[in-house]
Amino acid sequence: MLSRQLGAGALRNAVSAPSFRLKNPLAAPRAFAQVRNASSASSSSPLESFLNSRITLVSVSLFTAGSVAWYTHLYGSLPFISQVHASHASDEGLHPPAYPWSHGGPLDTFDHASIRRGYQVYREVCAACHSLDRIAWRNLVGVSHTTDEVKAMAEEIEYQDGPNDQGEMFMRPGKLADYMPPPYANEEAARAGNAGALPPDLSLIVKARHGGPDYIFALLTGYVDAPAGVEVREGMNYNPFFPGGAIGMARVLFDGLVEFEDGTPATTSQMAKDVVTFLHWSAEPELDERKKNGIKAVILFSALTLISLYVKRFKWTPLKNRKILYDPPVDKTH
Amino acid sequence: MAISTTIYNTFFRRNSVFVATIFTGAFAFGIGFDTAVTTFYDRWNKGKQWKDIRDKYVQPADE
Amino acid sequence: MAFNGLKKAVTLTPSVRTLPSGVPAAPLLNLAARAPADPHAHGASGPRSDVAPRWAGGVSRTSSGLVSKSYITLPSTTPFTARFIHTSVAVKSAPEVPDFSHYRANDNDSNRALSYFMVGSLGLVSASVAKSTVTEFLKTMSASADVLALAKVEVELASIPEGKNVVIKWRGKPVFIRHRTQAEIDEARDTKWQSLRDPESDEQRVKKPEWLIMLGVCTHLGCVPIGEAGDYGGWFCPCHGSHYDISGRARKGPAPLNLEIPAYDFNDAEGKVVIG
């Protein structure tokens, strides 16, 4: 590249040198030095000018960089650099596809009817094994249920309270301030009831798993028979989306398992979608408000940026366009 | 030109009026902006939020 | 914009040369001229850099005649080069400035109004954003939702028979609810409350005359008084013997104030009282 520029520069000098010499005879000896350079400039052919052209250089560079980037995107590693993996790809679990969630977009709220159905699925199916410790009954009010509905649901469950006047603990019906009842009294009981596997708490499960809602949905709907050669221990189930492939939880969602009050057909994928929406809400109950605040913040701060730029230019204009003039003093006797 | 002069004389000439305009304007702007964004947000998410489906579940006794 | 290129080449004789001795010399400058007496000068001036020093040779005389004369002949190491002064700036009698009229506003009035409007808008939006920010920060200092959820207690009133006390827990403290009989109401109202230690009428202490709701914490040292006891048919604190009447007013003993009344509301539709 350097020699190419030099050649072009020398060529230009060689062309302009004679006229320069004519114009300014005094400078003639200096011009000779440049003419000497010009003698080393090679003659150009069409091929050479094509090879030397800037466009060729840029496009070849872009093509190379693009090919490498594309390969890396496709195969996940740089080309021609071999990698050694200690683990097999199946240990990571199958990568879940991206599903078009109703709350996926930057401006989209949760589908609250879906949250309501999802709560039903959780209550009738998941709650048999999974706790939801961080959600209180009152959290459902104004999200998926009315106050009266939630009160009625809470009162069906007995909570221990106390101590009373006699210093004894007693049972009372649930209140809005109570949290969702756990299915097991403690972790040991949960493990004992599930062949040693602890069903995780679902309050923050969408945030806690790589892939988020996509992963949970894929897991719930992804139960298949183990492929040939894969051995799954007794009591375990095969799920390609679960890291390692063998999961303690069996497939729980089957068509028609629950009956939705709004008449939505309870297919497996419908129930999975609803319960994942519900779990996503329980992990991010602030999502609706957060996205609304996001709209406001983006609008306000872009407006502030634009106006600030205008005001900066406005304030700097007299400084940048200032004309400095020397006005010599008339009184020379000073 | 006449309009801009009028605006200048009304709001900008006295600094006290200018600052007062800014603060009352900020108050009005805050409310208006909130309303506008909420309106847009509710329209964009029509039928998804709780307030859109609430009517289906409220018991008649409450109404 | 209008820079008319004007190039000039002027040949000047050099004003400074280097002597064969290696010392610079300026034949056209009057080196004998001394600087005017400088009142701030410090002491005698040192050797001048522009005069050949004595050791470099030359002619040395005294009053008796020539003392020494030495010549050093060296070829000049500095070639003589003609130096050209090139001026790329136009030499004109008056300075020429670019034309800035393109940048000038067409209408000064509207331009002024626009500038003030933009500055005002910046202040307006900033004030709005700052207000929202401050509000959000202040919101974090208020009670969180789970605390607020526990801050209210609902009590079914229908389950409390007339003339009975009920003690419930509210924010970790006992709350007395008494369903007063008509006789008790009359007794509470007939008391000359103006002369009491903490003068309060019964009307000030209850919202409905049959329901007396108050915090069950003795105002003396925080014990829990016993109901339906004491000299005045109300409450009696077993710790230090304070007596409260059927309106919860301190009547005897060390208690300085009446029993405190929490904030509460009646929910008539469901027959409940909401404390908090």
pLDDT tens readout for residues A50-94: 888 899 999 999 999 999 999 988 887 888 887 777 777 677 788
Chains sharing 3 or more CB pairs under 8 A with chain C = A, B
Please give, one letter per residue, the 3-state secondary structure of C128-180. Answer: HHHHHHHHHHHHCCCCCHHHHHHCCEEEECCCCCCCCEEEEEECCEEEEEEEC
* B28 interface with C at CB cutoff 8 Å: no
pLDDT of residue C187: 79
Does residue A75 form part of some domain? yes
Does residue C80 form part of some domain? no
B-interface mutation test, from C106, C107, C108, C109, most B Cβ less than 10 A away: C109
pLDDT of residue C88: 57
The domain spans of chain B are: 2-51
Please judge whether C128 and B22 are an interchain contact, meaning their C-beta atoms are less than 8 angstroms apart.
Answer: no
Which residue range(s) make up the domain with C214? 153-275
Does residue C8 form part of some domain? no
Q: What mean pLDDT do residues B24-49 have? A: 94
Does residue A252 form part of some domain? no
Does residue A250 form part of some domain? no
pLDDT of residue A60: 94
- How is residue A9 annotated by DSSP? H
Q: Where are the beta strands (DSSP E) in A131-190?
A: 158-161, 170-173
Q: How confident is residue C7, by pLDDT bands cut at 50, 70 and 90?
A: low
pLDDT at C159 over 50: yes
From CA A116, how far away is CA A277, in angstroms rounded?
9
Q: pLDDT by residue (tens digit) across A211-264?
A: 899 999 999 999 999 888 888 888 889 999 998 888 989 999 999 999 998 899
Upstream peptide bond of A163 is cis (omega within 30 degrees of 0): yes
Does residue C225 form part of some domain? yes
State residue C211 phi and psi, 5-degree precision. -110, 115
C125 chain-A contacts, CB cut-off 8 A: 300, 303-304, 307
Which residue range(s) make up the domain with A58? 31-81
Does residue A303 form part of some domain? no
Pairing of β C211-215 and β C226-227: unpaired
pLDDT of residue C87: 55
pLDDT at A39 over 50: no
In the chain, the amino acid numbered C78 is: T
Q: How far apart are the two ends of chain B, measured CA to CA in Å? A: 57
Smallest CA–CA separation between C125 and chain A, in Å? 7
* A157 interface with C at CB cutoff 8 Å: no
Structure tokens at C252: 């005897």
CA-nearest of C13, A140, C170 to B50 is: A140
pLDDT of residue B42: 94
Q: How confident is residue A10, by pLDDT bands cut at 50, 70 and 90?
A: very low
Q: Which residues contact C212 (CB under 8 A, 6 or more apart)?
A: C176, C177, C178, C180, C205, C206, C246, C247, C248
From CA A27, how far away is CA A20, in angstroms rounded?
8
Please judge whether B33 and A107 are an interchain contact, meaning their C-beta atoms are less than 8 angstroms apart.
Answer: no
Cβ-based neighbour number of residue C22 at 10 Å: 12
Cβ-based neighbour number of residue C247 at 10 Å: 29
- State chain A's mean pLDDT as an integer: 83
- State chain C's mean pLDDT as an integer: 75
Q: Do the Cβ atoms of C275 and C213 come closer than 8 Å?
A: yes
pLDDT of residue A115: 95
- Please name the residue of chain A whose CA is at the shortest distance from the CA of residue C168: A164
Q: Which fold has domain B2-51?
A: 1.20.5
- Tally of domains within chain A: 1
Q: What mean pLDDT do residues C13-32 have? A: 72
Q: Is C14 exposed, middle or buried (0-12, 13-18, 19+ CB in 10 A)?
A: middle
Say which CATH number the domain at C237 has: 2.102.10.10
* B23 interface with C at CB cutoff 8 Å: yes
A288 chain-B contacts, CB cut-off 8 A: 49
Please judge whether B1 and C107 are an interchain contact, meaning their C-beta atoms are less than 8 angstroms apart.
Answer: yes
Active site residues of C: 240
pTM: 0.66
* C125 interface with B at CB cutoff 8 Å: yes
Smallest CA–CA separation between A164 and chain C, in Å? 9
pLDDT of residue C56: 64
pLDDT of residue A306: 97
The DSSP string of B9-48 is: IIIISSHHHHHHHHHHHHHHHHHHHHHHHHHHHHHHTTTT
Q: pLDDT by residue (tens digit) across A128-169?
A: 999 999 999 999 998 999 988 998 999 999 988 877 777 788
Q: Which residue has better confidence, C128 or C75?
A: C128
- Tally of domains within chain C: 1
Please judge whether A311 and C167 are an interchain contact, meaning their C-beta atoms are less than 8 angstroms apart.
Answer: no
Q: Do the Cβ atoms of C21 and C54 come closer than 8 Å?
A: no
* A300 interface with C at CB cutoff 8 Å: yes
Does residue C75 form part of some domain? no
Does residue C239 form part of some domain? yes
Residues 85-124 of C with CB under 8 A from B: 107, 109-110, 112-114, 116-117, 120, 123-124
pLDDT of residue A16: 42
Instruction: Give the CA diameter of chain A.
Output: 120
Q: pLDDT by residue (tens digit) across C50-106?
A: 556 666 666 767 777 777 776 655 555 555 555 566 555 555 566 666 777 787 778
From CA C249, how far away is CA C240, in angstroms rounded?
16
Question: If you search the block for the tokens 């964004």, which residue do you land on?
Answer: B37
* B30 interface with C at CB cutoff 8 Å: yes
